[in-house]
Each structure stands twice: as C-alpha cells, then as structure tokens.
C-alpha cells in the first residue's frame, strides 16, 4: 500500500511540474505564434510520457529518442523556469513572457549544445599506480564503462572508443559493465560488432555485466555477441591472465544471487584485479587484499547537479582512490543513459599504467 501511495504521489508531482513547465512554454510560444491550447497540451504530455511509450516495443523507437531528450529538458526546465518567473516580475517591457522565455530558451539551447559536445567527444584520462607482487613488466590497461550501446550511443560513438583505445596500444582492455542499453538488439542490428571486432589488446579484452545489461533479459545473446567480437565476458569467475595477474569479473549486484567476493579470491601471490560494475562496496576488496578494483555505473551524475546525489550515495562515485593496498577506479563512463548530454561530467576512457614491485 505504501508503494502504491508513493507511486501515485510521485506521479502527481511529476504531472504538476510538467503542467507548470508546459504552461510557461505555452505562454512563451503563444507570444510568438498562434497556438491551440488543447493540441499543445496533448502533444506536451505525449512528449512528457514518450519514453514510456517507447518501452512498448521496438516499433516505437522514435518515442524512446524523444523521451531521452525530454529527461534533460525537464530537469533543467525545473531548475530554470522558477528563476524565469521571478525575473519576469522585474521586466518592465510590454511582453515579459517573450523576453524572459527567449532568454530561458537560449540557455537551454546552450546547455544542450555543450552537453552534446561533452557526451560525444570523449577524453583519455591517465593514471599510474604501483601494486605489490612479483617483479614484472608494467601493465598498460585501458579501462572504460557504461557504453550503453544502442540508438543514441551508437556505432559512431563506439568507433571513437575503438580508435582512441587502439591508439594507446594497450596490453589489456577492461570493459566495466553496461555494455548495451538494455537490449542488445541494436548492437546486432546496427552492425556494432564489426566495430568492436577492430578493438585490439596484446593479452585480451575482458568485460563484465552492468545493471542495464540485465534489464533487457537477454544475457545469453549479449554474451554471445560480445564473445564473437573478442570480448571475454566474466560472470562471477576468476581467471589467470597471461600468467601475470588474476582477474575477477563479477556479475552486477542486480543479480542478488551472485556469490560473495570471498569465494572468488585466488590463492596466489600474483596481483589480483577485480571488475565490479557498481562501486557499492569498497570495504570487502580492501579486507581481501585486492590490488586494483574497477567500476563505473555512476556516470558522475551525468548532468549537474545529479553528481551531488551520487557523491552521497557512493563512498567513491568518481575517480581514483587508494585505501590501504587497494587501488580503486570509478569511471564516469564512455557512453550515457537517456539524453546524449553531459553537464559536469564527460565521456571518457582511462589509460592506466600498473607498475609492480616486490612486497617490502
């Protein structure tokens, strides 16, 4: 009963905010062109719920795209529209709605333009760490997460990753979850496998599943597609890589039946590297003596001010931290969820040099 009540309350708040923003947009557009209030209202609420319409099936793909952009528009309109209403009280012009609305529209366009650039123009971030273990050559790894490969984070965006990663000539590539955006059908239909086929690494390419990889309920198909593309997907298993280090790839915590990390710890003095999509537990890897732990999931909030929330939810929501002997890295992701927009974050991949030294 509480869940139903909370859901109804959330829906009422959402509809109220949608109507509030819509009324302001209607006043602004009405100062520019004649509008039919009923037609505008119908189209407005269709846009507001278009993402849900898109979930009805692949034939409704256009609504999924519309809904993705709505998320960004809605968030920043909720932040800007009250300020615009206050500002309009101080505008002495004959039509304050036209002036203030045009300024807000310009700000939104600027946000969309800047956010699209930050989403589709990834950067390479560099990190160098030293772990204890037998003396060995440094290991050069590329780390990336949260591709959300699908419609908006598509083939061309994947090409950017493959080009940047290959230019770094890595020993190994780690893909830390959310490989596709719920359904792998778009990965297959848009020929992304032929791009992933071109990804190279000297001793292997390894991936794990993220929460969105589970949502499509097509794990066997996704795993098959990735394996054909040369990506070895680890599902709660630990393997020895090139006789140089042990690698544990965890299923995401979405799978509530996944084993504890203790059961996956190798009995060896070789370095131990762990991939777990969601950085929900920094304590256990430290207690078990993991050397390097990689995650994604948070997107660093993707759009400001969401990063303030991820900082509260996760002990480490972004970047690098060392706790005792364990090195942690949380990436903001190469792709994005929902709108192809990033504000306060940027699409990225990490170039990580891992040095090895004997225990002192």
Q: What is the pLDDT of residues 186-245, one digit of tens each?
A: 999 999 999 999 999 999 999 999 999 999 899 999 999 999 999 999 999 999 999 999
pTM of the model: 0.94
> What pLDDT digit, counting tens, does each position of 241-250 carry?
999 999 999 9
For position 290, what pLDDT does the model report? Answer: 97
Averaged pLDDT score across all residues of the chain: 95
**Residues 260-266: contacts with CB within 8 Å, 24+ apart?**
260/284, 261/285, 261/288, 262/288, 264/236, 264/237, 264/238, 265/238, 265/289, 266/238, 266/240
Query: From CA 144, how far away is CA 150, in angstroms rounded?
Result: 17
Give the contacts of 15 (CB within 8 A, at least 6 positions apart). none
Q: What is the pLDDT of residue 94?
A: 82
With contact defined as beta carbons under 8 Å apart, do 336 and 306 qualify? no
CA 114 to chain centre: 18
Write phi, then psi, for 257 (nearest 5 degrees): -100, 10
Cα distance between residue 282 and residue 316, in whole Å:
8
Q: Determine which helix (DSSP H) or strand (DSSP E) holds 211, and give its type and residue range.
A: helix 211-215
d(CA 167, CA 208) in angstroms, rounded, equals 23
Torsion of the alpha carbons at 148, 151, 156 and 157, rounded to the nearest 10: -30
Query: What is the rounded CA–CA span in Å between residue 289 and residue 324?
Result: 9
Q: Which residues in the chain show pLDDT less than 50?
A: none
- Give me the pLDDT at residue 134, please: 82
Give the whole-angstrom CA distance, residue 252 versus residue 236. 9
Residue matched to tokens 């732990």: 293
Sheet holding 237-241, edge to edge: 237-241, 245-249, 272-275, 292-295, 326-330, 319-323
């Amino acid at each position: 009963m509480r869940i139903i009540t909370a859901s109804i309350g959330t829906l009422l708040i959402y509809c109220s905010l949608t109507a509030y923003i819509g009324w302001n947009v209607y006043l602004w557009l009405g100062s520019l062109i004649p509008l039919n209030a009923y037609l505008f209202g119908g189209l407005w609420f269709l846009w507001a719920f278009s993402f849900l319409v898109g979930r009805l099936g692949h034939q409704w793909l256009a609504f999924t795209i519309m809904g993705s952009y709505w998320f960004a528009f809605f968030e920043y309109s909720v932040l800007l529209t009250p300020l615009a209403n206050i500002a309009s009280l101080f505008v002495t012009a004959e039509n304050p709605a036209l002036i203030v609305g045009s300024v807000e529209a310009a700000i939104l366009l600027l946000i969309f333009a800047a956010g699209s650039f930050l989403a589709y123009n990834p950067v390479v971030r560099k990190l160098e760490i030293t772990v204890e273990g037998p003396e060995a050559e440094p290991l050069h790894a590329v780390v990336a997460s949260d591709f959300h490969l699908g419609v908006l984070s598509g083939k061309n965006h994947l090409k950017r990753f493959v080009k940047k990663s290959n230019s770094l000539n890595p020993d190994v590539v780690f893909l830390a979850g959310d490989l596709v955006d719920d359904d792998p059908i778009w990965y297959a239909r848009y020929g992304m496998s032929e791009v992933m086929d071109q990804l190279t690494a000297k001793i292997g390419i390894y991936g794990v599943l993220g929460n969105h990889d589970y949502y499509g309920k097509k794990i066997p198909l996704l795993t098959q597609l990735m394996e054909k593309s040369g990506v070895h997907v680890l599902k709660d298993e630990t393997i020895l890589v090139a006789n140089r280090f042990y690698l544990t790839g965890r299923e995401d915590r979405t799978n509530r039946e996944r084993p504890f990390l203790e059961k996956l710890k190798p009995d060896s003095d070789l370095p131990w590297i762990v991939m777990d999509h969601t950085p929900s537990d920094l304590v256990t890897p430290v207690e078990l003596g993991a050397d390097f732990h990689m995650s994604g999931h948070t997107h660093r909030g993707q759009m400001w001010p969401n990063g303030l929330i991820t900082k509260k939810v996760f002990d480490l929501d972004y970047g690098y931290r060392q706790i005792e002997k364990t090195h942690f890295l949380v990436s903001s992701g190469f792709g994005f969820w929902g709108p192809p927009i990033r504000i306060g974050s940027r699409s990225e991949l990490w170039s990580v040099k891992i040095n090895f030294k004997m225990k002192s």
